[in-house]
Amino acid sequence: MPKYNKVTPELIQKLLDLLGKHNMTTDPEKLDVYKTDEETNPAYFHTPEVVVFPETTEQVAAIMKLANEYMVPVTPRGGGSSLACQAIPVYNGIVLCLEKMNKIIEVNKEALYMIVEAGAVTTAVQSAAKEAGLYYAGDPSSKASSEIGGNVATNAGGSRVVKYGTTRDQVYWAEIVTPTGEITQVGKRLQKNTTGYALEKLICGSEGTLGIITKLCLKLRPIAPYHFDMVAIFTDETKALAVPNQLLMAGVQPTAIEFLDNKGIQSEERFMNMTLPHSKDNGNYIIITIDSYDQDDLDNRVATADEICEKNGSVETLVADDRIWGARYNIGEAARNDSQIWLAEDIVVPVDKIADLMAQIPAIEKKYGIATTTSAHIGDGNIHVNALKMDMPMEQWNEVIPKYHNELYTLVYSLGGCLSGEHGIGLRKINEMKKFTDPVSLDMMKAIKKALDPNLILNPGKIFTYDED
């Protein structure tokens, strides 16, 4: 890793000339806000020396050129909703916030696309599509606070992945500023394109290490007029976890298949101060969304889903109302309500291996004295195990967590899985990335990073480092 310089008064003046006083700050109290994102463990906190708020792509490019000239690191930041420390400025320097670049530029109803700036909040993107009678399929749990550029940078997932794919699958093209300050567009508004490397796919999920996304062309879809949400409640977790593949094999093709374990349900009851169905008799929830363009088709698929759940031993099937979806979407807030220090895992395994993973997690919890709640996008094998620091002293927590992680991740990889399904690697999983990733693959990633960012200026200290080189 190169030696970075501190932000100098000369650089501050150049940034001031470029952006104006209203678009930057060096105020210590304001800088303190940007020392973290959703991370609550102070061990990860780093405070920037200056925060900038560009309003145009050209300003972003000029900032990157200055950063290279002065050898100062830049950390891009969207809504600050990262769960893997992607927006924490590990080497201080400049935090570059995109919140002022938040315009919905175009919604094209006939051609089914939207052009939007990267700082637009995800719910604003969804609302703009809905106002046009269309549908943006990206739906991360953090949609009320996350920005669309951050969704793309982390290849966010969410509940609708089982039908529509991750955020990467919602993007036609992205305008980016390269680490050296050039402006380019990667991808095109095409259904097919094999003209060279698919650079737009590479940028999606690169966690702000290969370029700063400033503008996007997103895919839109017609809204299916018929919709049903159901929740099937199981006391046998293993039988519940067999449902996703059975639904797909039966041709039900749900839009979402979500899971919430009993400990998570009880955590939500404490957080939301309400009683949820079958919480006291070991109920586990499978939440299924089915959409259709035909009422009879919807009715048939809902009936098939209900029959599959009943055959698998569901104790009751109900309409999934706002309480149920609130419990699923607020699982992170409920975890924070139980413990200010907690870790949100987003491991991913093949769908047919979910039951194997879940069966072995309790033994790992017990071995290390870790309390957990679990939710999942079980339609795509993405499991969120929230580890909570309850009555454990901080010193013990810091000692136990690496051992807990090592055993959990070893299990995940033995089942053909990976460290992250949607949150990314960031700073938090950087050591595990090195340990569990094939070294040839890791070297390829490092070579790409070095080629595009020769000074290693952009979001350093994320995904991997060059310290060992």
CA distance 360 to 358: 5
Instruction: State the CATH class of domain 1-223+437-468.
Output: alpha beta
Q: What are phi and psi of 335, to 5 degrees?
A: -65, -45
CA distance 303 to 437: 43
Could you read off the pLDDT of 203-218 as tens digits, one per residue?
999 999 999 999 999 9
> Confidence band (pLDDT; 50, 70, 90) for 340?
confident
Nearest to 16 by CA among 52, 49, 47, 56: 52
The pLDDT value recorded for residue 1 is 67
Longest dimension (CA), the chain: 71
CATH level 2 (architecture), domain 226-415 = 3-Layer(aba) Sandwich (3.40)
Could you read off the pLDDT of 75-93 as tens digits, one per residue?
999 999 998 999 999 999 9
Q: How far is CA 156 from CA 168, 214, 322, 422, in A?
A: 8, 17, 23, 5
Residue 227 CB coordination number (10 Å): 12
Instruction: Say if residues 257 and 151 touch (Cβ distance below 8 Å).
Output: no
List the domain boundaries for the chain.
Answer: 1-223+437-468, 226-415
Structure tokens at 468: 């060992």
Once rounded to an integer, what is the mean pLDDT over residues 17-45?
Answer: 95
Average pLDDT, the chain: 95
Torsion angle defined by CA atoms of residues 144, 149, 150 and 154, in that order, rounded to the nearest 10 degrees: 130
Least confident among 8-12, 38-42, 322-326, 401-405:
38-42
Nearest to 87 by CA among 222, 270, 212: 212
pLDDT above 70 for 469: no
Could you read off the pLDDT of 274-310 as tens digits, one per residue?
999 999 999 999 999 999 999 999 999 999 999 999 9
